[in-house]
Every structure is written in C-alpha cells, then in structure tokens.
Amino acid sequence: MAQNDPATLDSVAARAGVSRQTVSNVLRHPTRVADATRDRVLDAIRESGYRPSLPARQLATRRAHAIAVRAERQQDGISGLVLDAFYHGLAEAGQHNGLRVLLYPQPEDEAAEVATIDELVHTGAADAVVLTATSADDERPAHLRDNGTTFCAFGRPWGHDDAPHDWVDVDGAVGTSLAVRHLLDSGRRSIAYLGWPGDGAEPSTGSDRRRGWLEVVGHAALGAPVEAHSLNDAAAAQAAVAELLGRPDAPDAIVCASDTLALGAHRAALAAAGAGAPVTVVGFDATPVAAALGLASVAQPIDQVAHLCIDLLTGRFETPDRPARGLLVPPVLRLPS
Amino acid sequence: MAQNDPATLDSVAARAGVSRQTVSNVLRHPTRVADATRDRVLDAIRESGYRPSLPARQLATRRAHAIAVRAERQQDGISGLVLDAFYHGLAEAGQHNGLRVLLYPQPEDEAAEVATIDELVHTGAADAVVLTATSADDERPAHLRDNGTTFCAFGRPWGHDDAPHDWVDVDGAVGTSLAVRHLLDSGRRSIAYLGWPGDGAEPSTGSDRRRGWLEVVGHAALGAPVEAHSLNDAAAAQAAVAELLGRPDAPDAIVCASDTLALGAHRAALAAAGAGAPVTVVGFDATPVAAALGLASVAQPIDQVAHLCIDLLTGRFETPDRPARGLLVPPVLRLPS
DNA sequence: CTCAAATGTTTGAGCGCTCAAACCGTAACG
DNA sequence: CGTTACGGTTTGAGCGCTCAAACATTTGAG
C-alpha cells in the first residue's frame, strides 16, 4: 500500500498523470476538477496511502487549524468532571471542523497565561483560544482583545456586558429555577438556597444561580426566602446547613450552587434526619457524586457548550469582523435514577 | 516593538547584519556562534519581537514536537478527576521538553482509535501518543507497534509481560497494602476487601489491588480473609457491603478498589452503624469524594506518571532503538484531613 | 468562421525554516 | 612561507503545500 517514502502531492500527481495543483484541488476544491480526473486522482491517493502534510499546509496557509485550551491545574474538586467533558466536546467538535485541540498547562497567573497564549498564537501553533473559568475580574479577555487574539470564552463576561468578545455560558438562573420548580412540584413548601459567599452582590456565577432560585421562590410566595452561604467545601457546607436546619424556619428542601455544597447539605440533612421531616437536596453540575448520593442535580450541557464555542470560533475565522456574540444555553435538571 | 509583518529568520538576520543560518544557530546551537555575534543577534530578535514559526520548523525537521492523548468520552464517573490531573501533568512536562499536547476525541472503538492515531502521526500533527486506560485485551499497543508508532502507555501491559513497549503505571498492590497497614496500625483486626468482579483471576488493575490487600492481610494472620465484589457503582457496592456486614464474620474495616466502591461501602457502613462497631472504609484514587466523606484513600501520583511518560517518550525520540522500559511508581495513602 | 467566455489544468513563486556543504579568514605546524 | 586545521559564517537546496496567474481546451454566441 504505502510506499517507502511517504507519498506527497507530487508523487501522487505523477502517479495519476496530473499536476501537483490538481491533486491539491481534488482535496480542497473538488468542484474545480473534472469528474474523470478526480476519480483518477482519488485512486492514486488511495493506492499510495497519501496523507497531506499538516505542517506544509500550515506554512502555506498561515493557519494552524488548531485551538488551544488550558489544562487546569489540580482542581478544587468535585466538578473536575465537567472539564473532562468539555475537553472531549472540544476535541470532537474540533475534529468535525478540521480543528485540533492543543492543551497548555495553566500558568502561574493571568499575565503569564496571556503570554503563553500569545506564544502559541504567534508561533503558529494555534489560531485561537478557548478561555475557561472566566470571572468578573478576569484580565485575560481584555488583554487578548488588545493582542488581536481570536478567542471564545466559556463563561459570561461578568460585569462587562459590553465586552466585545464571543462567549458561551450556561444559564445558571434557569438551572436553579428548574430545581425549585421540581421541588415545588414534589410538594416541598420551604425551599432554601445554599450558595457561596458574596452571592448577592456582584454579577457572578453564584449570584446568577441564586437569582434563579429567588425568582421562583419569591413568585410562589411561600414566606421569607431562607438562605445560607459557605465556601465550596463539603465540611463548611455541612456546618452551614446544620445551623440552617436548627432554625425555627428550617426548610424542607435546599437548592445548592454546586454538588460540593450539596454533598455537605446532604450530610447535614442526614444527621438531622431524626428531628423533623426529611430535607431534599438538589445539587449543581450533576457530577457522579450527586448521582451516587441519589440527589437531583442541575446538569450543564457541556458538550453543547463546547460545540458552540467551536461554532463561534469557526464563524469568526470566516468573518473576522462580525460583531461579538454571546450564547446562553439552558441546563437541565437531572433526577436521580 | 513588533513590525508590521511578523519577523522571520531573514528579517532578523538583515537587522543583525548576519545570515539567516546564523540566527537559526543562535537559537538552536548557541555554541556554534561567536559571543559578540550572538549578542547582536539576540538584540535583533528582541527588538523585532521575532517568534520562530513552528510549522516551518516542523516542515523542515519532519518533527511535530507534539504528542497526542485521548480526550475521554463521558466518564463513568468519580475518577474523572484523575484524567484532568494527567492532562495537566502532560502539558506541563511537555512544555519543559518542547512538546505540545494534542487532544483527540475518543473514537468508537479501538480500531478506530488506532486509525485516528495513525492519521495524527502521518499527517505530522503528532510524533507520538500516550495511551490511557489500557486493559488486558487492549488491541491498541500491538497495532501501534506494528505501525511503527511511538507511544507510551499509562497502564501496564496486563498479561503481556513481554510487550515491548514503554509504559508507566501505579503500583496498585503497594497502594492497598499501605491501606491495610494503616488500618492495622489503627487497631483494626478484620480487614475486608471490596473489589470488582473477576478480581481474582486474570492480571488486571483489580487483581493487582486485591493482591496488595491479600498479602498483608494474609501475613498478619487474622483469620480467613473476607472479601466482596461489585460493579463500579455506588449502589451495587452498598448492597454488597450491606450483605458483608450482616455476616457473622463481618469486618471492622474495608479496603476498596475505587472511591466509587468506597462511597457505597461508606453508606452501607453508616446504615449498619447502629449494630456493632463502626467500620472504617478506605478508598482508591483519592478523589474529592473520598475527601468529602472523610475517608482515607490511596492517591496515585498522577503528575509523576505524566512526567515519566514524557521522559520515556523524549528518551525514545533520541534513541529510537533502546529497549522498551516499564516504570512502576508507588502511590501514597492520603488520610482525611 | 471568428472571437470571447467558460471550464479545466499547469506553472511559478513563496510560506519560514533546517540541513549539508562550501566558504573564509586566522592560527598552528612543519 | 606553504600547508593543514579549525572556529565561525554563508550559501544552496529543499521540506510539502497553496496561492495567483498563466495556459490550454472546449463551447456558444455573433
């Protein structure tokens, strides 16, 4: 099948009795080539086991046909899973679009990361970047914009609604509102929220998730909304919820901003199981932990997010000047099986 | 700083008043260049903001300076974390060695995966592959060997001890033996094992972990070893352990082959807490779940594994014919904080 | 029957780098 | 004082591809 030396455009051309460029056209612009010629060339390609050389193409087109994404340093924890799925989604969607996915190790800080990305882009290793874990005080988007680097963020430009860059995010408010509705439907009357510190104030992932809860709970008019806050740590969450359950207005359900918090809440609920009615806990991220504990949890459609990121990027490659676009996708509530 | 057009070897050379090749030498073979010249060239590089073009280098050297690794499709679960850490480790170790890490989406089956890898390598996108999740009946190593593809596996060639390829793995037996010793030290007398079905027979990750337990337990001569088996599912594990704890020879500690199993065991132990002494559970993989539940768990030194994989690969790039090498690294027991 | 417009194919140049070989001084040696 | 040797530098060629322009053919209109 394959020759001794790997086949090239020229060797295939010779074999098919056409010119180099015609072979190239068969591959990249099939319509430009006459049917008979194309078949002949395709045969020659098959017989010789030809594979186009990526580096050569990159050199000629000045496109890397690759995007870069950060390989997160050791995660805090439970939602690490989500990133795994995101990587897979990117790789898959990228493959469909002729984009390879490059991993770069998370640098010390944001400045170093911008430098890393700059390096990647300017050496021609990648055409663009997908930014993950964006936050309100994130300096990366602005720097990348200044650099003229193409990128798409997974995560809204919190607090910078005018930020002229592409992004995709999951609608956390919809997620928590789904959770509350589900709990109302199953007869819960007093639904508390367990979030992170500072959830109320600045726009953030946390405040977004809290808002969804508050809207539905407020709408249902079930008395004053009850909430607690804790760092994203199961033990801390457990303590916070234990306190909550000791109060006179103890809730009969808790919507949590993460599965880590949900785990803590679940343990507190178990501990308090003796006294009072059972408390239902709903998590966020639908990690295996929630599944294992038999908790409902809000599932982010990570795969969809990844595909949309790729869509936005490929779109921008084609039309560099089109206005920035932000896409908000709804999560779903995953019930315990 | 940077010019309008990106700087090239030639533009830098012109600026420094030397030839193209001298600039190249400054970068790749600094010793070949006279000190004065080198300084002049380095200045020119700095002033022009020159970045070497990766594609051009790849084309000329026929090396991609990249390795590929599979982006796992949705994980069963809890140990997804481990992969995240592995990706980061690879990216980091790769960066130190001038290797970029490429992600390819997990294909349908092993045959398709081999084809994908073949594609990656023959188009010059990657020089080598890191194989993950190897098992006894894995066809990938043999195929890759036949293809002449350079690779390194994370995972032993179970049942193919003669397999002439590079690999790195974590010594599971050492892990479980550490767990047992720790339990003995803390006064446990009857230490059971919770593994996966078929752990006893063929060489596998499971049988390896079981062996470590059996050796130490047998050595301590504490009566007939007790064990249970279950699919890697928390609910199934819970049922299996519940049964175990109901027996007359119920253990006072359980070493598990995974954190998923440990989660199940933990829940069964909690449920049985009323009757008899408390049961201590030890997991495997040191996922956040184990940490959250307050369980000790065996931690795989994933970062080290990743670095060793890169070491083996870079070594092989330099000496393609050196004999295959297998590296076994010991895990550590991570106690609950 | 001529000329222009399609259609299909080839040619030339160049992307930015590295390799190998050639080159050029100068120092060391006989 | 010629010859060799050597550190330092340049030259030529080529990696495998794509672009734009040039070149043949064929076709259809006038």
A34-59 per-position pLDDT tens digit: 999 999 999 999 999 999 999 999 99
Name the residue with tokens 């089109």: A322
Question: For residue A4, is it within any domain?
Answer: no
| Same-domain status, A40 and A121 | no
Chain B residues inside the 8 Å CB shell of A91: 71, 103-105
| Same-domain status, A13 and A35 | yes
Question: For residue A125, is it within any domain?
Answer: yes
Question: For residue A160, is it within any domain?
Answer: no
Give the model confidence (pLDDT) of A120-148 as tens digits: 999 999 999 999 988 888 999 999 999 99
Distance A18 CA to C11 C1' (A): 13
Question: For residue B334, is it within any domain?
Answer: no
Between chains, do B77 and A101 touch, taking CB under 8 Å as contact?
Answer: no
| Same-domain status, B16 and B40 | yes
Judged on CB neighbours under 10 Å (0-12, 13-18, 19+), A230 is buried
Q: What tokens appear for A55 in the block?
A: 């580096």
| Same-domain status, B285 and B180 | yes
Looking at residue A1, its pLDDT comes to 46
Pairing of the two strands B280-284 and B296-299: parallel
Distance of CA B240 to the CA centre of its chain: 30
| Same-domain status, B74 and B142 | yes
Give the model confidence (pLDDT) of B160-189 as tens digits: 877 789 999 999 999 999 999 999 999 999
Give the 3-state secondary structure of residue A126.
Answer: coil
Between chains, do B80 and A288 touch, taking CB under 8 Å as contact?
Answer: yes
Looking at residue B147, its pLDDT comes to 92
Looking at residue A291, its pLDDT comes to 84
Share of chain B above pLDDT 90, in %: 78
Q: Which residue of A has its CA nearest to B62?
A: A55
Question: For residue A87, is it within any domain?
Answer: yes
Looking at residue B169, its pLDDT comes to 96
Distance A311 CA to C29 C1' (A): 72
Full residue range of the structural domain in which residue B73 is found: 66-170+302-328
Q: Does the pLDDT value for residue A75 go beyond 80?
A: no
Between chains, do B73 and A51 touch, taking CB under 8 Å as contact?
Answer: no
Question: For residue B2, is it within any domain?
Answer: no
| Mean pLDDT, chain A, integer | 92
Looking at residue A2, its pLDDT comes to 45
More confident residue, A228 or A222: A228
| Same-domain status, B165 and B188 | no
Distance CA A266, CA A241 (A): 9
| Chain A contact present for B289, CB below 8 A | yes
| Same-domain status, B88 and B101 | yes
Which of B103, B147, B258 is most worth mutating to test chain A (most A CB atoms within 10 A of its CB)?
B103
Give the model confidence (pLDDT) of B241-250 as tens digits: 999 999 998 9
Distance B1 CA to C25 C1' (A): 36
Between chains, do B102 and A106 touch, taking CB under 8 Å as contact?
Answer: no
Looking at residue A77, its pLDDT comes to 56
| Same-domain status, A186 and A293 | yes
| Same-domain status, A47 and A95 | no
| Chain A contact present for B88, CB below 8 A | yes
Share of chain A above pLDDT 90, in %: 77
Q: Does the pLDDT value for residue B305 go beyond 90?
A: yes
| Confidence label for B101 from pLDDT (cuts 50, 70 and 90) | very high
Between chains, do A95 and B78 touch, taking CB under 8 Å as contact?
Answer: no
CA distances in angstroms from A134 to A155, A165, B103, listed in the order given: 6, 13, 22
**Strand C atom within 7 Å of A55 CB:** no
CATH of the domain at A218: 3.40.50.2300
CATH of the domain at B42: 1.10.260.40
Q: Does the pLDDT value for residue B272 go beyond 90?
A: no
| Confidence label for B276 from pLDDT (cuts 50, 70 and 90) | low
| Same-domain status, A240 and A288 | yes
Distance B62 CA to C13 C1' (A): 23
Looking at residue A79, its pLDDT comes to 57
CB-based contacts of B225, cutoff 8 Å, min separation 6: B192, B193, B213, B214, B217, B218
Question: For residue A2, is it within any domain?
Answer: no
Q: Which long-range contacts (CB under 8 A, 24 or more apart) does B242-247 make?
A: B242/B268, B242/B271, B242/B272, B244/B192, B244/B194, B244/B268, B245/B269, B245/B272, B245/B276, B245/B279, B246/B272
Nucleotide nearest to B29 (CA to C1'): C18
Considering only CA atoms, name the residue closest to the C1' of nucleotide C13.
A60
Number of domain units in chain A: 3
| Same-domain status, B120 and B231 | no
Share of chain A above pLDDT 70, in %: 96
Distance A102 CA to D16 C1' (A): 23
Nucleotide nearest to A13 (CA to C1'): C10
Between chains, do A71 and B101 touch, taking CB under 8 Å as contact?
Answer: yes
Looking at residue A120, its pLDDT comes to 97
- DSSP secondary structure string for all residues of B214-283: HHHHHHHT-SS--EEE--S-HHHHHHHHHHHHHSTT--SEEEESSHHHHHHHHHHHHHT-SSSS--EEEE
Question: For residue B335, is it within any domain?
Answer: no
| Same-domain status, A271 and A309 | no
Q: What tokens appear for A218 in the block?
A: 């407020």
Which of B50, B82, B88 is most worth mutating to test chain A (most A CB atoms within 10 A of its CB)?
B88
Chain B residues inside the 8 Å CB shell of A106: 88
Between chains, do A260 and B59 touch, taking CB under 8 Å as contact?
Answer: no
Give the model confidence (pLDDT) of A143-192 as tens digits: 999 999 999 999 999 888 777 899 999 999 999 999 999 999 999 999 99
Give the model confidence (pLDDT) of B107-146 as tens digits: 999 999 999 999 999 999 999 999 998 888 899 999 999 9
